[in-house]
Copies of this chain bind each other. A is one copy, B any other.
Amino acid sequence: MTSRNLDIVAIGDALVDVIATCDDAFLDRHGLPKGSMQLLEPAAADALYDAMGSAREMSGGSAANSMAGASAMGLSTAFVGQVADDQLGQIFAHDMRALRVQFDTPPVSDGLPTGRCLILVTPDAQRTMNTCPGASHQLRADALDEDLLASARIIMLEGYLFGPEQPRRAMERAIAIAHRAEREVALTLSESVCLPGRKENFIGTVESGGIDLLFANEDEVLQLTGRGDLDGAIGELARSVPTLVITRGPAGALAFERGVRTDVPAMAVQKVIDTTGAGDLFAAGFLAARCKGRGIERQLMTGGIAAAEVISHFGARPVADLKELVKL
């Protein structure tokens, strides 16, 4: 089942997105801070689902979206994540494979259903995410295929899985495997990592040299460092990881690599429809250019192009021909 010489293997949440539009008043009524991500218990997720509008369903999950994008840009990719043996799990697995992302994690059949992310998109194109992780957070460390991970140039980990204990152990095992095989470990920071009680674990991992490449947005950097000044926070974090990449929404993106800062502007987008997946596709583009041996500026620019595509329509996975758009 293992492919040799993959570009990237990602480990992350295996979710189906349930996407509906709503107005600001709906978010207020349900106490949902716009643009945030919260984890919901099943009963709370069902109550929110009952209240929200008619929806469309599309496979999602942050790192899974990144692999969908990287595969669309011509990379050989695999994804590791936990679904249940149910209809949403079948949808998730189908979509991964249809996008030529190797996906062999066997479904679990004795626990929670496949995870869902209830995504509310407001008229200003902001997404507010409400994740009911279900089976996704039941990923076990022994579900990882060591040969598969060691075969990839880059191992990409998703911050959301770094929070809860069971999948965090899988992430820690993945880091150990990757470093034994001398692979680069990339991680996307998430609010989930930055919660009190979880942050310390994560900072310990960073400071012990576990992360080679860290993706974060400005809010996440402030939350993780606990600092109020962005430049100071970025500087502090840049000393802990060889490559730090910060996405800044309409202000573009920047990287610190071996002490050198590179900034790029955001790509122009005619009309922003739904910002879901912007960070995921940015990471996909960045890593695609990196795997093709392009320089850091080109890596940032390619991330920007992929992010611009995904925010121009509903859903967190590309619909346009990304390979043509990025021309690596």
Contact = CB atoms under 8 A, between A and B. Distances in A.
Task: Output the residue of A52, A87, A113 with the most chain B CB within 10 A.
Answer: A87
Interface string A82-110: 00001110010011001100000000000
B87 A68 contact: no
A324 interface: no
A317 B94 contact: no
A56 B58 contact: yes
Q: Give the number of copies in the complex.
A: 2
A11 to B, nearest CB: 20
A55 interface: yes
Interface in A289-328: 315, 317
Interface in A107-138: 113
A55 B95 CA distance: 7
B98 A54 contact: yes
Contacts of A113: 87
Interface of A: 20, 49-50, 52-59, 68, 86-88, 91, 94-95, 98-99, 113, 315, 317
Given A55-B94, A56-B57, 4 more contacts: A20-B98, A54-B68, A56-B315, A87-B88
